[in-house]
Structure 1
Amino acid sequence: MTREMLINAAQDEECRIAVVEDSQLEELYIERASVISHVGNIYKGKVTNVEPSIQACFVDFGVGQNGFLHISDLQSIHFQATKGAKERVGRKHPRRTRPPIQDCLKRGQELIVQVIKDGIGTKGPTLTTYLSIPGRFLVLMPGMNRMGVSRKIADEKARAHVRDLMKQLDPPKNLGFIIRTAGEDRTKGELRRDLNYLLRLWKTIEKRMRKEGSPLELYRESDLVTRTIRDVFNTNVNRIICDSDLTVKKVRDFLRIALPRTRSRVSLHEGPTPLFERYNLEKEIKKIHSRSVPLKSGGSLIIEPTEAIVAIDVNSGKYRKHEDAETTAFKINMEAAPEIARQLRLRDLGGVIIIDFIDMLQDKHRRTVEKQLRQAIAADRARTKILRISQFGIVEMTRQRMRPSLNSSTYMDCPSCLGSGRIKSPESASIEIMRRILAVLDLEKAASVEIGVSPEVAHFLLNRKRTVLAQLEQTKGVTISIQAKDDLANDSLHLVIRDPRGSVISCDA
């Protein structure tokens, strides 16, 4: 298996990183210079409002839009009852045992918070007081006790081994640490270097916390290239190919400290063909924005993101290899499960996700498909929770949403349909326009009516409604003018009413 990381940073406006496995796009990360993300940043903020009705508060942390902090993201050191007692790593107090937020915080109180999700639309950023500062192999968690090991390190012997290494390093008792998946096979010396780096960083942050007032940025997360190398790159990645000299230097400098033996895997892409074109990724990226995803067997996925949920439908399409419907459904569902996991990663879809697999009668088939889906999603870095598949083939799951999806970051809503994908047919628009004409003709002073509509609607009115319009002109004694305007959609209307002297008495646009 060949696994490569391709970094396209030739354009200053946008940086793209693709992870390709055996020539198939598996992961895609995009960051634009014009879009500022605050996820991972740590701030000293001030409580502006405490809202008991939703058990949350709003915090001004200096970015122009107040952040949202729920009681479930408030560390126990802020609880009056526990008198500053710290929680253990991975053992947060359950929601039911937490005191009311109005007993913990008050307006004007200063807080150290971290952004865990960027604001989307009118919603402000989501905050937490459970700080986490990532290194290459460890995550520092101030205000927590003990050590934790990444859940993705499943082997118990490996978990015990890394715990033992950390105990030998004797980290400070007043700080919590999590050993990341990348730290599983690291030596004691490598873990020590990472630990010392995080401790120096936290000491710098603490110094600024004490000396400066709020709102204040205390820690800024690294750029996309550094984050991806830190969080995604491992020894399974055979090559890192960059199309910028500056990026090559940045990656090598990072690896020189974090993984010195892998520096030789970094290379510069040369030649007239752009890097992503060379690996046929531009076509793959275009497919990510498509509603339909074809499967190799002839089936397909239909992916429909909405405001409330993401709906994914599995269709059999042209797949007809088996005589019985049960085997056909099972084979297509088994193929669809890993592709669904891949599409969720590539599109960065989050929130509540409903997957409608093709109905299967046998319980063993449903459980096998469910297992296939869980295994495929296990590699996802975002937190996920999957419920069991129902007898109707429905799977409900949630996926951590940290920033707007790739689709919403790339496209803007159509000004004609406002993102619905539908506009009125010429006939429907014409019927509504005729109602408007009848209403305005009741105005006593109306002598002429000028109607600006799309060319399609104008054609319908002038052909299918010509007789009706002529009768209205004769009976009402007015002049009705239909004008085709290329810049108007079918359900748009520009209406001007004039009196006998030619003065405008009403205008709708």
Structure 2
Amino acid sequence: MKILITRDIKKTDKKENDPNVNEHVHKKIRISAYEDNKLELSYTTQGSSDYVGNIYVGHVENIVKNLDAAFVRFKSDSPNAKDNTGYLDLKDIVSDCILTSRTEEPKTLRNGDIVLVQVKKPAVKTKQVVLTTKLSISGRYAAITLGQKGTGCSKKLSEEKRKDIIAILKHDFSIRERISDRYGLIARTECEVLLDKKNNKDADKSNPFDVVRKEVDILCDKLDELMQIGTTRSVATCLYETASDSDFSDKLLRCLSFYNSCLNIEDSSKYLATQSGQDVSKPLDIEVITDDADLFSMYNASSFHADHPEIPARLLLPKDGTIGVLYGLSSALDKAAQKRVWLDSGAYLVIESTEAMHVIDVNTGKAIDKKGNLFLAINIEAAIESARQIRLRNFSGMIMIDFINMNDKKDYKKLERVIRKELDKDPVKADFADFTKLGIAELTRTKKET
């Protein structure tokens, strides 16, 4: 299975060849699951609406000495120039973030300098966005900040636990050497679980805080990478985007859940495969793919990747092509929105939505193969496709599927088993209720945002 991470590009009012136009910021991120070249799931997650936590390549527009502050243009997606500029306190400067070449050490900020900045506070009424060069990124267990020193812990924990966690991290030579005098470390509340494991006498002897050490390495490497690639990017480029990691990782987790459910070859899949002579013993595989370097970095810094490092991830290079071209994502999404959906057998579904329920009608169409139990085969194929369409369209509430009438009650039992197993693949809770006296399948599905 392929998990594709991409985003919708929205052009600004500026000219397309303007190097300062930042086309890749604050657009919806789409996470899609492809299995056997077929779109199975597709979700969107929105970038941070208030920009807080995002890291940009900024340009110093003006330094106001009596305010002891600089005004930095960090984005270019708003027609109002003021909205593209933020307030940077000169006392909040880390010289490593000044990208303009200079011989003096430490560097001081000047008009026209290129500088890496992170949004610290959102704009409030007439006040502009507050920026900082003390760049900070977080993982599941730790947060690393450039330009700060020391080790701390989340204040949400008790004083006793905070002291224990800090003591463990301070005495870890690898962590101490990695952050050195360059970075500050804050242990997050998730470390409480690790502390409980460490204090459990019945637990294995391995150190649960090893995951923190690995995460600190990843976060420090990420900040080092941002400062390096920042010198090669144009002004107003977003280098790091905090698109609600919990939301981003949750959508990836739903794709993984679907994949795990597919590892057990279903009876319905076997039924159709044996009809067409396909090999059903071939194991499935999984890979994360994106054609956007920023999204690739976001994925590597996500809690999902930290929890599932065994899943390979690949960044498509320009020579490889784009996700849109290689997988036809746009056309697949367009087809998923159509009223009529054709099946491989020549039968088709008609999908309608009302305020009360969603209705799927199964029609034989051009399916004229008289071998075997034709109506059961069409209904099984329709059940599999209906479950897929329900996932893609994110139907919720009551769903009715009007299958082709069958005379044998055993066939309905077989169809019911297929429906239940296909619904079990859904990352969102979906249930089969029963067949009505007219042979219409009744389903329910929980509402969940896509």
The structure with higher relative contact order (CA 8 Å, sep 6+) is 2
**Which structure has the larger Rg over C-alpha atoms?**
1
TM-score, normalised relative to structure 2: 0.46
